[in-house]
Chain A
Amino acid sequence: MFQTSDGDSKERREWMELLARAPLAMLESWMRSAGDGGSLPGRTWLRKPEAGLAMLRGRAGGAGERFNLGELTVTRCTLRIETGEVGVAYVRGRSQRKAELAALADALLQSPPWRDAVRRHLLEPVRAQLDAEATRARHKAQATRVEFLTLAREAGQ
Chain B
Amino acid sequence: MNALDLAGVGAGFADPVFESQSAFRGCLSALATPGTLVSLGAGLDEMPGLHAAAGALLLALLDQDTRLWLSPGVAVSRIASSLKFHTGCSLAASPGEADFALVAGADELPPLEEFSAGSQEYPERSATVVLQVPAILESGWRLSGPGIRSEARLSIPSLGEAFLQQWERNRARFPRGVDLYVSSGDRLCGLPRTTRIEI
* Residues in chain A within 8 A of chain B (CB atoms): 1-3, 5, 44-48, 78, 80, 84, 86, 88
A47 touches B86 (CB 8 A): yes
Measured between alpha carbons, how far is A25 from B14 in the docked complex, in Å? 28
B1 touches A5 (CB 8 A): no
Q: Which of A46, A48, A78, A88 has the most CB of B within 10 A?
A: A46
Contact of A5 among B2, B3, B85 (CB under 8 A): B3
* Residues in chain B within 8 A of chain A (CB atoms): 1-7, 9-12, 14, 16, 85-86
B3 touches A47 (CB 8 A): no
User: Given the known A-B contacts A46-B12, A47-B12, are A86 and B7 also in contact in the complex, defined by CB atoms under 8 Å?
Assistant: yes
Residue of A whose beta carbon sits closest to that of B9: A46
- Contact residues in B for A46 (Cβ distance below 8 Å): 6, 9-12, 85
Q: Which 7 A-B pairs have the closest CB atoms?
A: A86-B6, A3-B3, A1-B1, A46-B9, A46-B11, A1-B4, A44-B11
B12 touches A1 (CB 8 A): no
Measured between alpha carbons, how far is A86 from B5 in the docked complex, in Å? 10
Measured between alpha carbons, how far is A80 from B1 in the docked complex, in Å? 22
Instruction: Please name 19 pairs of A and B residues whose Cβ atoms are closer than 8 Å in the assembled complex, sorted by A.
Output: A1-B1, A1-B2, A1-B3, A1-B4, A2-B3, A2-B4, A3-B3, A5-B3, A5-B7, A44-B11, A46-B6, A46-B10, A46-B11, A46-B12, A47-B12, A47-B85, A78-B9, A78-B85, A86-B7
